[in-house]
Amino acid sequence: MSLFQAARSLGPHPYFIGAGCLVQTVWNKLTERPPEYGIGDVDIIYYDEADLSYAAEDAMITKGKEFFVGTPFPVDIKNQARVHLWYRDKFGIDLQPYHSLEAAIDTWPTTATCLGARLKEDDSWHIYAPFGLGDLFSLIVRPNKVLINESIYCSKAQKWKKLWPELQIIPWED
């Protein structure tokens, strides 16, 4: 079972596999690195506004552990409907509740990482990329200032530049 098939099986909630693992897989292909190079985890997001408890999210995480046995990376499963409940404590930034998965992806730290993909029931793909795919395929890291600050952006960009020196990092400008 592929990663996308397994994520789809977590249902019934809509999901995306997003951000780093997708972007870094593309960077690895474009820079002729091994497919798993530099990938720290797989982000799987879903949206369930009916139950914002951590217990419900933890149940989904536990279920995911069964589906993702053998995955070469840790799998991070998060209910985007409840991110606002813990984001300030973790990052020091207030966050309004997201109204959808797409609204969450719209706030991710770079234009290239604002990306989600899912395998639909008919095995066709749903790709969500609010800034398009140009920066991704051009190896450009550009800040998305909707939520993050300069410090977070610079930290991520520097980390990625060490792993993929081919990246063009666009500076944070006020």
Q: Are 102 and 128 a contacting pair, CB within 8 Å?
A: yes
- Kindly indicate the confidence band of residue 92, based on its pLDDT and cuts at 50, 70 and 90: confident
Per-residue pLDDT at 56 exceeds 70: yes
Per-residue pLDDT at 125 exceeds 60: yes
- When pLDDT is averaged across residues 69-83 and rounded to a whole number, the result is 93
Domain encompassing residue 36 = 3-169
- Kindly indicate the confidence band of residue 12, based on its pLDDT and cuts at 50, 70 and 90: confident
Q: Is residue 16 part of a domain?
A: yes
Q: Is residue 174 part of a domain?
A: no
**Integer Cα distance of 126 and 116 in angstroms:** 8
Number of domains the chain contains: 1
Q: Is residue 73 part of a domain?
A: yes
Three-state helix/strand/coil letters over 64-102: HHHHCCCCCCCEEEEEHHHHHHCHHHHHCCCCCCCCCHH
Mean pLDDT of the chain: 94
**Integer Cα distance of 57 and 11 in angstroms:** 13
- Kindly indicate the confidence band of residue 9, based on its pLDDT and cuts at 50, 70 and 90: confident
- When pLDDT is averaged across residues 140-152 and rounded to a whole number, the result is 94
pLDDT of residue 2: 85
Count CA atoms within 13 Å of residue 109 on its CB side: 19
**What is the CATH number for 116?**
3.30.460
Q: Are 125 and 118 a contacting pair, CB within 8 Å?
A: yes
Instruction: Sort strands 75-79 and 116-119 into parallel, antiparallel or unpaired.
Output: unpaired
Q: What is the pTM of this model?
A: 0.93
Q: Is residue 161 part of a domain?
A: yes
Among residues 89, 108, 87, the alpha carbon closest in space to that of 97 is found at 87
pLDDT of residue 174: 67
